[in-house]
Amino acid sequence: MEGKNAVILLSGGLDSATVLAIATADGFRCHALSFRYGQRHEEEITAAVELARAHGVVEHVVIDIDLAQFGGSALTAEMEVPKHSDVREIGQGIPVTYVPARNTIFLSFGLAFAETRNADHIFIGVNALDYSGYPDCRPEFIEAFQKVAQLGTRAGQEGPGGVHIEAPLINMDKAEIIRRGRELGVDYRMTRSCYDPVGQLACGHCDACLLRKKGFDGNGLQDPIAYA
């Protein structure tokens, strides 16, 4: 794989930081892609910039897309982010923090970026075990998008190898993800997961904070970031 180009969807969170480390370790030349999409937690972008630099990516593009123009999610509109005191309280079903079609949009931009960079691989940090019910994080969604990538692009139709959507975390739980990332030297202090930070501090009670803490707990570790 030496020297092959890959696009990495890099949110600045724990999962995508780990994926960046995996792709780098696999020998890909990494082109990081982040989105400023009207999310409340703009800290994420700062984290993504720092992570991209730390892992020596070839380039890092930040795309502005105004999903807030549509509204409809607690992450982009004026809704309350649900808080819990324990990870077992995370609800079943799709939570209000679901951002309509977010991963479809991110992967679509990833496709465009990949085609213009001769990248045959797009890495995305979805995982279907420790997640909070988002439909666009499931394996069957990724498979369906793989087909779109193949059929809807020049690279898929005329390129030598097509376009491959890589979701290396899809069957890992948070503890395994953190274990793998630590082996590869990810500095999780740089990452941001919280949906509703209090200034620079993570809230500690949204789904993202609870799942993250569960991952560190599972390794007998303390999460290195600061909580409110």
Residues engaged in binding a second copy (CB under 8 A): 61, 63-67, 69-72, 93-94, 98-105, 107-109, 111-113, 115-116, 135-136, 138, 140-141, 144-145, 147-154, 156-158
At closest approach, how far in Å is the CB of 75 from a second copy?
A: 12
Q: Which is nearer to a second copy, 46 or 116 (CB)?
A: 116
At closest approach, how far in Å is the CB of 132 from a second copy?
A: 13
Q: Which is nearer to a second copy, 86 or 158 (CB)?
A: 158
Cα dist from 117 to 5, 14, 31, 97, 110, whole Å: 7, 25, 8, 32, 10
Q: Which is nearer to a second copy, 151 or 198 (CB)?
A: 151
Q: Which is nearer to a second copy, 129 or 228 (CB)?
A: 129
Quote the DSSP letter at residue 182.
H
Q: Label the pairing between strands 59-64 and 5-9.
A: unpaired
At closest approach, how far in Å is the CB of 18 from a second copy?
A: 22
Residue type, 78: E
Joined together, the tokens standing for residue 96 give 């209000």
Q: Which is nearer to a second copy, 107 or 203 (CB)?
A: 107
Q: Is 94 helix (H, G, I), strand (E, B) or coil?
A: coil
Whole-angstrom Cα distance, residue 202 to residue 175? 19
At closest approach, how far in Å is the CB of 176 from a second copy?
A: 24
The answer to whether 206 touches 81, Cβ cutoff 8 Å, is: yes
At closest approach, how far in Å is the CB of 22 from a second copy?
A: 23
Q: Is 30 helix (H, G, I), strand (E, B) or coil?
A: strand
Joined together, the tokens standing for residue 141 give 């969604």
